[in-house]
Amino acid sequence: MGRLLYELGRVDEKSRHANERESSRAGKSSFSWAWELDGTKEERERGITMDIAMQSLSTAHRQITILDAPGHKDFIPNMISGASQADCALLVVDATTGEFEAGFERGGQTREHLVLVRSLGVSQVVVAVNKLDQVNWEQGRYEEVCEHLKTFFGQSGFQSSKTSFVPVSAMLGVNLVERKSPEASFLSQWYRGPTLVDLLDKLEPPVRDIESPLRLPISNVFKGQSSGICVTGRICGGIVQVGERLRVLPGDETAVVKSIDLDERSVSWAAAGSNVTLYLTAIDPIHLNIGSVLCPLNDPVPLAICFSARIIVFDTQLPIISGASVELFHHSRDVPATISKLVANLDRATGSVTKKNPRVLTKGTSAEIEITLRGDGPGGVAKPIPIEPFAVNKDMGRFLLRRGGETIAAGIALEIRH
């Protein structure tokens, strides 16, 4: 990502030299490009992405916001927060012999990331098969990696027309934006297709839900450079305008939108699908939390402690039973919950009931269940979360369930129980 931003003129020479110098000094010179997005001390020391970094870039026909999400399994919650804000996915896989296989075999992160983004509603994927210089630009190895992934895409519900593949070497800058360098000549012997930027330029923007009331889940809160407090997030429905007073849920607080930043520009309004930074006034920062939702005063988002849902069970080690404790991930929030009732097994294709009150849910099943939130720790009181039925707002109705460090199911909210 760092190299692509540099090739597109989004990283200047000064930053590039500083990153090269600092990474060499730390004994991590091969990470110099990654440091453009891995900015924190801990990320740089550990050599991994931990948090979501946001950047933007322009192609001939698209203005694209990049959310650089962690790949490491310790930081899946942050990855989910990033994926829940995404329209499309750019999956970078390592073509090196053994490395691709490690990420793709059972328990590997490549597989889990694809399942997560699909479950969160992302249907378009561009796969960059990276480090081809490490395998001598072998066409056979590129095709082998693509075949493995194409099979898995089919099993995971991606349409072949919405997935595309591109061979690259990011360190050498080959086939990100062009294929003119001497190193690119080996690739050009057998590859005549588009570059990575060509594929990004062809991504289809989804239809934006601007008719519905404003829903803006907060993904980050920080202090502004001057006065006031800033929140960032992706608008999941409706429109927000400067000067508007918004409700913050959960809670009884309101705030006024002082200004809006979109792609590093100040704008007077922004609509569904945009990743924005809002500068808020007339509110104590203590009332702004990651995972809270900004909405209109007269059209608040519903809050739920219990709701019915339709889920698909993944390749889980243990079957799911009634009373199972899970972690519920919804946008940037994760809360403890219980699967309080197994209502019915459903036919995956038609959604019709195949069995009522099943005892267990096993791998690959689709089911209707009831989820009840729990409090933190013994005796803790469950706090409601802002969630909407999928039929009302798709982005506000999707969630994931995790247990013991693995994602066990993805689902959509059907009905809020009161």
What is the per-residue pLDDT across 233-284, written as a single tens digit (0 to 9) for each? Answer: 999 999 999 999 999 999 999 999 999 999 889 999 999 999 999 999 999 9
Q: Is the per-residue pLDDT at 105 higher than 70?
A: yes
- Quick one: which of 41, 33, 103, 18 has its CA closest to 68? 33
- Taking the C-alpha atoms of residue 335 and residue 326, their distance in angstroms, rounded to an integer, is 9
Supply φ then ψ for residue 174, to 5 degrees: -90, 125
Quote the pLDDT of residue 177: 94
Cis peptide bond N-terminal to 358, omega within 30: no
Q: Whole-structure pTM over 0.95, yes or no?
A: no
Region(s) of the chain under CATH 2.40.30.10:
216-296, 303-417
Task: Please give the CATH architecture assigned to the domain spanning 216-296.
Answer: Beta Barrel (2.40)
Quote the pLDDT of residue 326: 96
Cα–chain-centroid distance for residue 315? 20
Quote the pLDDT of residue 291: 93
**Hey, what CATH topology would domain 2-201 get?**
Rossmann fold (3.40.50)
Q: Does domain 303-417 have CATH number 2.60.120.10?
A: no
Quote the pLDDT of residue 86: 86
Quote the pLDDT of residue 42: 61
Arithmetic mean of pLDDT, 104-116: 79
Q: What percentage of the chain exceeds 70 in pLDDT?
A: 90
Region(s) of the chain under CATH 3.40.50.300:
2-201
- 55, 210, 231, 249 from 278: Cα distances, Å: 16, 18, 5, 16
Higher pLDDT, 53 or 117: 117
Q: What is the mean pLDDT of the chain?
A: 88
DSSP string, 352-405: -EEEES-SEE-TT-EEEEEEEE--SSTTPPP--EE---TTT-HHHHEEEEEETT
In the structure encoding, which two tokens stand for residue 416, read together? Answer: 């809020």
pLDDT, tens digit (0-9, with 9 covering 90-100), for 13-56? 777 777 677 766 666 555 555 545 545 566 546 565 556 677 88
